[in-house]
Amino acid sequence: MQRADYIIIGIDDSREPSLTREARKAIDAGRVFSGGKRHHEIVAHLLPEGSRWIDITVPLDNVFAEYAKIDDTIVVFASGDPLFFGFAATIQRRIPSARIRTMPTLNSLQLLAHRLLLPYHDMQTVTLTGRPWHELDAALIRRMPKIGILTDRNHTPAAIARRMMEYGYDNYDMHIGELLGNDGKEKVATMSLGEAATYEAAMPNCVMVTAREARKVTMPIPDAAFIPLPGRPLMITKAAIRHLTLAALELQQRQSMWDIGFCTGSVSIEARQQFPHLHVTAFETRSECEEIIIANARRLGTPGIDVVMGDFLATDTSVCRTPDAVFIGGHGGHLREMVRKAAQAMAHGGVIVYNCVAVETTTDPRIPTDSMEVFCQSAAGAGMTVEQPMRVAIDSYHPINILKARKK
């Protein structure tokens, strides 16, 4: 058999791990071993005398620096299946040329499903281990009926339950598996989210949430579903215009959208609802709008929008995710500067969309008469290609020009 640089053996939390004959042979022949501290506690009595152990701790740069000094096969112990959000994938990313052999066992979510006798072929799996909420948020927005979740010390079952309830996803039950495989300490419990919100689960643990009933959603979201700006009930991008605006932004193929001047948050929320994979950053200068977008996101089940308050032009956007789609919903007389800043930050091939009233149809002195010209000139000056505008008229409202520019 060809020599491997890494042999990765999957184990559960059992103090007497059930190992294949192949895994036992690899251990008996090994001289250098590695894994987490919990793994070491489980397998220490199986390791040959005089062998070396390398702890897997963060930062991983230090771990791989130690690996680089080894001119021998390294036997690594990992939880469950090393290729299921596991350490084998980490090695592949960091050392693409590494020769790897895996010897998996059931992963924790598989174990939990078997303890519950719950078929899991239709389960959406997400990991929160060392990661933000984004993938769980997306699964909830998609109304997935069964979600398996890998947790960590920050994203605990209780924290997950509280987040789900905050955004109205109380139509789920939670199943928690603790110390799965540990004969003396394993525990499996099913409870409501309200009960789970205060439950202290032992580590390591994992979670499955199952919907008792589907939560309905209407697309596009009706305007009346949004809490409006006080005293300005019409200051919202209308549902039909929102729908066309999101289409112009090509969000099905985008990863990160900026919504500049979010007001009620209608565009940001609709974007996340229709395209749950999307990262949305929403900017607004009016302080009263922060409370409104948060309330609207909660009532419409839309977690995960990053809200940035303050003057967009004075904001350090280098700390924000690079956009490949930008919607300018309000500019306060600084459209030219906003287009320039957004274009500079944007990835190549990205688009900026801006909606303005067709000025020849109104005599309202509050409506700028040169917005279309300013947008087109600013976009062209920023090296963008201005595309054919779309004019839309709805009921008795003034016609709207949907303007679009693409970064070369």
Kindly state the average pLDDT of the residues 283-310: 97
The residues facing 405 across adjacent strands are 352, 386
Say if residue 358's pLDDT is above 80: no
The residues facing 90 across adjacent strands are none
- CATH superfamily for domain 109-211: Tetrapyrrole methylase, C-terminal domain (3.30.950.10)
Kindly state the average pLDDT of the residues 183-211: 97
Kindly state the average pLDDT of the residues 57-65: 95
What is the C-alpha separation between 164 and 127, in angstroms, rounded? Answer: 16
What is the C-alpha separation between 81 and 11, in angstroms, rounded? Answer: 8
The single residue listed with the structure tokens 């193929």 is: 253
Measured from the Cβ of residue 50, the count of other Cβ atoms closer than 10 Å reads: 6
Say if residue 85's pLDDT is above 60: yes
* pLDDT at 214 (0 to 100): 87
* pLDDT at 355 (0 to 100): 94
Above pLDDT 90, what percent of the chain? 88
Kindly state the average pLDDT of the residues 284-297: 97
Q: In this predicted model, what pLDDT tens digit does every residue of 149-162 receive, in sequence order?
A: 999 999 999 999 99
Q: What's the pTM?
A: 0.90
Sequence ranges of the domains in the chain: 6-105, 109-211, 223-407
Say if residue 185's pLDDT is above 70: yes
Which numeric CATH code is attached to 6-105? 3.40.1010.10
Say if residue 33's pLDDT is above 50: yes
Count CA atoms closer than 13 A to 109's CA, side-chain side: 22
- CATH superfamily for domain 223-407: Vaccinia Virus protein VP39 (3.40.50.150)
Kindly state the average pLDDT of the residues 307-320: 97
